[in-house]
Structure 1
Amino acid sequence: GYKETLEAAGITNIYTYRVWDSKQGNLAISDMLEDLETFPDYSIVVLPISCTPTGIQFNKSEWKQIATLLKKKNIFPFFNLNGQGLSSGDVDTDAWPLRHFVSEDFELFCAQSFSAAFGLYGESVGCLLMVMRNNGALISVRSQLECLVLRKWSSPPSTGARVVATVLNNPTLHEEWEENLKMATKRLMVIREKMREKLRLLETLRSWNQITQQSGLFTYFGLTKDKVDFLAKRNHIYLPENGQMNISGLNMNNIHYVTQCISDVTLNDTR
């Protein structure tokens, strides 16, 4: 998580904001804005664009509200963009929040990972995008980052980065990649629909509509830690503590078993 990463870097003055309404099973934009309002001016806020872990993205109107508040408080946005194109099926649609902030004259950072969108999970390919208002600031920031890089790793593996660069700089390969993202996104939605229907037929008290309201690689059930532990110990289904699931690993051979196990641990849930 972001908090653990910041703590490991020696940052101690860390604030958190609410983003999930567990009762409604949806994003809590009003709670988030309320929390951001309490942040000190000139803070840095981490904003995930990639539907992680909830599987639900803010709409354009909500992103505009966030931008307005951050501008009022002079808060610096640090975006995390992971799996671009795997949420909506369109790389431009998924990048809209970032481009909106740039159009609003924000200075910002964006940590972008290409691992999921290019299937390069063993390569950890990514980049840090920096948007500054003038070249002087950009040069200063870049020089500091270059010093940090030289101390930390100096010369990283380049195979994955070269694969990404080759695809993005070749029009034919670029077009094929975008088509593959659309196909992958459609498959993920089919998996969501089948999962929701199977859970509905198992007649738990809970509504499962949020599964198809979500998008991207992950779905979020709002499972408690004890239920996550139960799934691991009893059913050998291993999820992180927050209960999110990467549904790209589901197929016609295992989806019935997984949904049955989830149904068992949520049998008496009413949401």
Structure 2
Amino acid sequence: MHQPYPWAMPGRFALRLCRWGWACILMLAAMAPSAFAAEPVLRVGFFDLPPHGQLKDGKPSGHALAYFDRIARQMGVTPDYVQLPLARLLVSPDIDMVLYLGKTRERAQTLVFARKPWLVLQGAIAVRTGSPLRTVQSADDLVGLHMGAWNAGFRSQLMRDARLRVTPISGDDFLDRALKMVVHGHIDGFYNPEIHATQAGIQRLGLGAQLRVVRLPSTGDALYPAFTAAGAAKYRKRFEAAFDAVAQRGSYTAFMQQQYALR
């Protein structure tokens, strides 16, 4: 005998539909605590260091932040970026980590640095195009020159030589002001431990015809992610694993080069 289709048997079909509905509701309820739970928020502090990080139109942006977004997704956290002057970042209780930072003994006493750096630093000095300074092999080449350097920034061993005349430059817009000081002859050159930041500043200000960059000897210094004690206890292991996983698909240096190529 031909069996009727389900919709020809409204009572039995309705009963089955009801059972399926309850089964789906129970499955969703069981999944809710894990599948729909909000991701933890990781408070990430950074200071202005274009092109790695800066406020653009009032919003955090930069290559390091974009690359860290990939790491955060791998970690399963939501980054909350907080821009502060460097001096405040080093003591702020409102962050879990500093996104990038030069590693020193003093800083290592209060912060927990990641195992691997973002970027191995290439120090450089911005000078006027007509400057006689062409190469730097040692501090001897800089003796007698009036240099500028960020007052709160990292300095290599070469730039800490007691014979050098170095004027500290402060403020959130230190880089722009320093480059303009070089252009106008107020200082002979501006030292920055991170060459990409200097090059980005020269390009942004349209000073390419007036300034050039002299590389310093490589020192092996680097920019590292650094955690507060509480942040390290909660996030460091997860970060290290996520950092390695993302780096296998492409390093931060390769990511930066790709961003420049897209311009």
TM-score range for the pair, normalised by the shorter chain length: under 0.3
- 1 or 2 for the larger relative contact order (CA 8 Å, sep ≥6)? 2
Which structure has the bigger radius of gyration?
2
Could you state the TM-score of these two structures normalised by the residue count of structure 1?
A: 0.24
| Higher share of residues assigned helix | 1
